[in-house]
Amino acid sequence: MKLPSSSATELNKQDLRHFLKTQDFTKKELSDILKLMAMLKQARKDNAVPQLFKGKSVAMIFEQPSTRTRVSFETAATLLGGHALFLSPKDIHLGAKESLEDTARVLSRMVDIIMARVDDHSTVAGLAQYASVPVVNGLCDWLHPTQIMADLFTMQEHLPENKKLSDLTVAFVGDATNVTSSLMFACTKFGMTFKHICPDRFKAPQEWINIALENCEYSGGELVITDDTAQVEGCDIVVADSFYWFGQEDEKEIRLSTFIPDYVVSEDLMAKAGADAMFMHCLPANDQRECSREVMESANSIIFDEAENRLTAQMAILAYFTYKHNTVPSAETVAAHKNKIEGFLNSL
């Protein structure tokens, strides 16, 4: 299919990259995004964020509710000098009165980047197939890549003394969620040891395990799949996530009875991990379910740094995926258009 051109950015297909999953990116490319995050976070602290998204717009499609992803993308667009449009399924025709293809093509003619939080990965992948601007996965049933950029950055900010990212051991305690998969892929890509501690019944599918094992082969990382919570011992970071998500409500009872109490990240479990082990959670958390409020509020909890870094990540993602498509007009071109248009308006 011939890709339509975008009036906003006029991208060639070879210049177009989507952020559907971290697996599509090399460790060097992901590290570059982390470096950009560090620079933008400092710029934000200094109230001096460069206007890298000036005059640009991000269309944000949300099939599911969101606090962090919505607010961080919207704020990031504003900080960078651009604009964000919130599009819920009841506001647009996507999937009901208009096909995915037509929606992607129309949005590409008006905005510079599309971010979509969707029920099913095929929707964000379909948008990417037909869009002529970058498409970012803001969470799907399988993956949550923008969350994981914030997570890697937060780990980097809190590295134990004399350790680098590849030295870390990360234990994810609980269900095989979209955060589990994304974290499993990213941690193993960066050469870390990643432990998924989960009852057998809900463990990660073999397809995810194969991807992570392949990462380990060239990164030197390690993957541990176990149902034994004693495996948290010596971990640098313990991660929790909800035990069920949208679309899994009918499994709520069986999930809660399987995970609670053994897989709840409690103060006892954190003590098993060790005095220096940090606690992460992408939020929202169901405290007293997958983790205790005491753990969330403890000195070792870095969950609110993690949440703030969603904004750090989104600034970098908007800049990384659109900056090279900027065309800066000369002062003469700007003046010529201004004179012509204002001359016309003055003549009316």
Cβ at position 294, least distance to ligand CP in Å: 21
Binding flags for ligand CP, 284-313, as an x/- string (CB under 6 A): x-----------------------------
Catalytic residue among 70, 144, 255, 325: 144
Cβ at position 150, least distance to ligand CP in Å: 8
Structure tokens at 300: 């070792």
Among the listed ranges 38-46, 67-75, 196-204, 291-299, the one in contact with ligand CP (CB under 6 A) is: 67-75
Indicate whether 282 belongs to the interface with ligand CP (CB under 6 A). yes
Indicate whether 139 belongs to the interface with ligand CP (CB under 6 A). yes
Among 57, 69, 292, 322, binds ligand CP (CB under 6 A): 69
Q: Considering beta carbons, is residue 9 or 123 the nearer one to ligand CP?
A: 123
Closest CA to 113 of 57, 30, 191: 57
Q: Considering beta carbons, is residue 94 or 139 the nearer one to ligand CP?
A: 139
Q: Considering beta carbons, is residue 138 or 221 the nearer one to ligand CP?
A: 138
Catalytic residue among 236, 310, 314, 325: 310
Indicate whether 66 belongs to the interface with ligand CP (CB under 6 A). yes
Could you identify the residue written with the tokens 């601007």?
133
Cβ at position 224, least distance to ligand CP in Å: 24
CA 99 to chain centre: 25
Catalytic residue among 18, 141, 147, 291: 147
Indicate whether 211 belongs to the interface with ligand CP (CB under 6 A). no
Closest CA to 170 of 151, 143, 146: 151
Cβ at position 117, least distance to ligand CP in Å: 7
Q: Considering beta carbons, is residue 57 or 147 the nearer one to ligand CP?
A: 147
Cβ at position 68, least distance to ligand CP in Å: 4
Cβ at position 144, least distance to ligand CP in Å: 6
CA 157 to chain centre: 17
Indicate whether 67 belongs to the interface with ligand CP (CB under 6 A). yes
Indicate whether 77 belongs to the interface with ligand CP (CB under 6 A). no
Among the listed ranges 3-11, 28-36, 125-133, 282-290, the one in contact with ligand CP (CB under 6 A) is: 282-290
Interface with ligand CP (CB under 6 A): 66-69, 139, 147, 282-284
Which residues does the annotation mark as catalytic? 117, 144, 147, 241, 282, 310
